[in-house]
């Protein structure tokens, strides 16, 4: 299988006399060849980082290239799955790092920081995507130039299809452009990675709102459509108000603030909502010199934003109040009802408090604006505007697919949208060629208990520098810095290569029967089962669990494998 090869931290010294642990949970017969009760086999397990990545990145593979300093090859492996390494290295919510097995030792590999370094290096050196695609003659329309739509367009182009992207906005990127502030994602980084997709032949048409997708399909002679319009609407909150407080929604705020920030400067601003959108714009408002407080009806567990996003906002002086719901507004005062959580839901207590405000920004409950799809009778639209799809990522109308934030039941994030675009491209490709895509079986995940960590792994994480909060709020300069080349390489070398052989020679040096044959760099090893006794020393020696002991096959013959 060999799909996740990587090398772990290099300060590992292997020798046959390092073996100190007995073979546990294994019983075996003496003798060689067919007298074994078990035999070793080389296997490939799924690293937990790969398994946790919503974009389906082969993290371990590109991390291996980064370990050796071959960042160009690391970039090429990375963009097989994700077209936005510099972006994702900044804005991804990092589920891969939550799953990383180094968490059981000390601290996760700083995966996103290495990805960011690779992405930034690719921009600096103007690396092009290396791929070969035979033109299929098929045309695909992508509606929406956000992360999901651009991801689908990118992968479809790699597969040889002609792709056009239509977007109602003035600039490609969707919420990456509209909803992520410069202090988190500099616009020149976004522009560079979008331009790379354009250079692959993808056409992007801006300032064009699709009203009738069936007419567009026919007019453009498109063979398939991918819908990825995101969730760029905020559900209106119903409460009495006298107009004394200026009220707007999150997306209107982003548009208005780009043109003229003065209505939000030196004011008392209240942001209503508990997602990262609310925290992003609250930190923007802080940079406008205003007092800002975020209110959310639920408790911390119900808050959609990640803890680190809340902590960053608090560090910059944003006030965050939980269990508060807006009841009414009058005379420049907002009355809030105190809430409590019952059976997982926030309910009112009948107790109230009042705060003063100049501006209220509603950033609660994002929705997809899918009204234009209602004319297509066989597309099912849910009450919240989300669209239903089948296992092939297709809507009820043949040839029309959908993904990203406009789907139900997903935690909304840029990473998930990018992953949806990649998956949809595979299914669309299969549809166009009349060869339905079959999702391959997933390899078992290599959890920490599977590893044989007999060597020392002391290697502190290379942390990224951050602007001090008092400095950060004075400008929109990027808050978190990238790693240096030396730091990125060291960080990559902290990878344990969970579940996959990295040719450490541990098994080769440990085998008492010389039953392991080296096949040359990059080709791993094979077993000479004529010599193997099934003693399992190689199994115990393998630090990443790339060797498994299996029952000896019935009627097996001795061989070399």
**Domains of the chain with CATH codes:** 16-44+500-551 (3.30.70.20), 48-129+448-453+464-474 (1.10.1060.10), 139-233+367-432 (3.50.50.60), 236-365 (3.50.50.60)
pLDDT value of residue 3: 42
Contact 492, 66 (CB under 8 A): yes
pLDDT value of residue 87: 98
Pairing of strands 162-166, 333-342: unpaired
Distance from the Cα of residue 264 to its chain's centroid: 32
Please state, in angstroms and rounded to a whole number, the distance separating the CA atoms of residues 225 and 401.
Answer: 6
SS3 content of the chain, % helix, strand, coil (to 5): 30, 20, 50
C-alpha pair distances (Å), 267 with each of 142, 182, 183, 261, 495: 41, 21, 21, 11, 48
- DSSP conformation class of 79: T
Contact 210, 216 (CB under 8 A): yes
| b/e map 265-281, b = 16+ CB within 10 Å | eebbbbbbbbbbbbbbb
C-alpha pair distances (Å), 417 with each of 151, 152, 155, 235, 259: 8, 9, 13, 21, 28
Q: Which two tokens stand for residue 175?
A: 């919420």
Return per-residue pLDDT of the chain as tens, 561 residues: 334 444 333 333 232 223 333 333 333 334 455 578 899 999 999 999 999 999 999 999 999 999 999 999 999 999 999 999 999 999 999 999 999 999 999 999 999 999 999 999 999 999 999 999 999 999 999 999 999 999 999 999 999 999 999 999 999 999 999 889 999 999 999 999 999 999 999 999 999 999 999 999 999 999 999 999 998 889 888 899 999 999 999 999 999 998 899 999 999 999 999 999 999 999 999 999 999 999 999 999 999 998 999 999 999 999 999 999 999 999 999 999 999 999 999 999 999 999 999 999 999 988 888 989 999 989 999 888 899 999 999 999 999 999 999 998 756 789 999 999 999 999 999 999 999 999 898 889 999 998 988 777 788 899 999 999 999 999 999 999 999 999 999 999 999 999 999 999 999 999 999 999 999 988 999 999 999 999 999 999 999 999 999 998 876 555 555
Nearest to 352 by CA among 335, 375, 374, 332: 335
pLDDT value of residue 561: 55
pLDDT value of residue 556: 59
Please state, in angstroms and rounded to a whole number, the distance separating the CA atoms of residues 283 and 476.
Answer: 10
Pinpoint the alpha helices (H) of 208-326: 213-219, 250-259, 276-287, 307-315
Nearest to 152 by CA among 89, 85, 84, 215: 84
Pairing of strands 233-234, 345-356: unpaired
pLDDT value of residue 217: 96
Question: Any residues with CB less than 8 A from the CB of 380 and at least 6 apart, and which?
Answer: 387, 388, 395, 396
pLDDT value of residue 455: 74
Question: Any residues with CB less than 8 A from the CB of 303 and at least 6 apart, and which?
Answer: 274, 275, 296, 310, 322
pLDDT value of residue 558: 55
pLDDT value of residue 553: 82
Q: What radius of gyration, in Å, describes the C-alpha atoms of the chain?
A: 27
Phi-psi region of 328 (alpha: psi -120 to 50; beta: other; left: phi over 0): beta
- DSSP conformation class of 372: G
Q: Which two tokens stand for residue 178?
A: 């509209």
Please state, in angstroms and rounded to a whole number, the distance separating the CA atoms of residues 438 and 173.
Answer: 30
Please state, in angstroms and rounded to a whole number, the distance separating the CA atoms of residues 247 and 244.
Answer: 9
pLDDT value of residue 236: 87
Sign of the dihedral defined by the CA atoms of residues 61, 64, 70, 71, in that order: positive
Please state, in angstroms and rounded to a whole number, the distance separating the CA atoms of residues 504 and 507.
Answer: 8
């Amino acid at each position: 299988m060999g799909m996740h090869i990587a090398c772990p931290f290099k300060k590992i010294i292997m020798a046959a006399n390092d073996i100190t642990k007995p073979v546990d949970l294994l019983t075996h017969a003496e003798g060689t060849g067919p007298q074994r009760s078990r035999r070793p086999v080389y296997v490939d397990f799924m690293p937990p980082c790969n398994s946790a990545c919503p974009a389906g990145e082969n993290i371990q593979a590109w991390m291996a290239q980064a370990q050796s300093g071959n960042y160009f090859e690391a970039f090429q492996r990375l963009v097989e799955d994700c077209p936005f390494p510099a972006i994702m290295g900044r804005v991804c919510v990092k589920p891969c790092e939550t799953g990383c097995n180094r968490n059981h030792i000390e601290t996760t590999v700083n995966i996103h920081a290495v990805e960011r370094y690779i992405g930034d290096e690719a921009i600096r050196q103007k690396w092009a995507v290396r791929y070969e695609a035979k033109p299929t003659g098929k045309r695909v329309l992508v509606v929406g130039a956000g992360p999901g739509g651009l991801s689908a367009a990118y992968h479809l182009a790699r597969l040889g299809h002609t792709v056009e992207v239509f977007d109602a906005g003035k600039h490609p990127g969707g919420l990456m452009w509209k909803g992520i502030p410069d202090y988190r994602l500099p616009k020149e980084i976004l522009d560079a990675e979008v331009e790379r997709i354009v250079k692959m032949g993808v056409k992007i048409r801006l300032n064009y709102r699709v009203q009738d997708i069936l007419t567009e399909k026919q007019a453009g002679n498109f063979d398939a459509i991918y819908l990825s319009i995101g969730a760029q609407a905020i559900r209106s909150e119903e409460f009495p108000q006298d107009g004394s407080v200026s009220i707007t929604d999150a997306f209107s705020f982003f548009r208005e603030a780009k043109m003229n920030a003065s209505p939000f400067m030196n004011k008392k601003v209240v942001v209503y909502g508990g997602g990262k959108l609310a925290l992003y714009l609250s930190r923007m408002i802080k940079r406008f010199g205003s007092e800002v407080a975020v209110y959310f009806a639920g408790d911390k567990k119900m808050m959609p934003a990640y803890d680190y996003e809340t902590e960053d906002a608090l560090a910059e002086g944003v006030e965050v109040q939980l269990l508060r719901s807006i009841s009414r507004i009058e005379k420049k005062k907002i009355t809030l009802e105190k809430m409590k959580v019952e059976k997982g839901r926030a309910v009112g207590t009948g107790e109230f408090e009042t705060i003063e405000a100049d501006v209220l920004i509603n950033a609660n409950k994002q929705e997809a604006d899918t009204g234009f799809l209602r004319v297509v009778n066989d597309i099912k639209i849910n009450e919240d505007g989300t669209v239903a799809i089948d296992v092939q990522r297709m809507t009820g109308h043949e040839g029309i697919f959908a993904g990203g934030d406009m789907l139900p039941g997903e935690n909304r994030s840029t990473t998930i949208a990018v992953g949806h675009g990649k998956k949809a491209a595979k299914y669309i490709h299969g549809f166009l060629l009349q060869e339905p895509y079959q999702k391959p079986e997933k390899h078992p995940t290599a959890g920490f208990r599977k590893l044989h960590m007999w060597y020392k792994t002391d290697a502190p994480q290379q942390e990224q520098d951050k602007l001090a909060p008092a400095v950060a709020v004075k400008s929109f300069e990027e808050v978190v810095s990238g790693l240096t080349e030396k730091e990125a390489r060291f960080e990559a070398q902290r990878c344990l290569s969970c579940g996959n052989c990295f040719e450490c020679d541990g098994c080769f040096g440990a085998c008492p029967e010389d039953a392991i044959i080296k096949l040359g760099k990059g080709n791993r090893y094979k077993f000479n089962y004529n010599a193997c006794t099934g003693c399992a020393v190689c199994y115990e020696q393998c630090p990443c669990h790339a060797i498994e002991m299996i029952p000896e096959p019935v009627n097996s013959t001795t061989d070399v494998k």
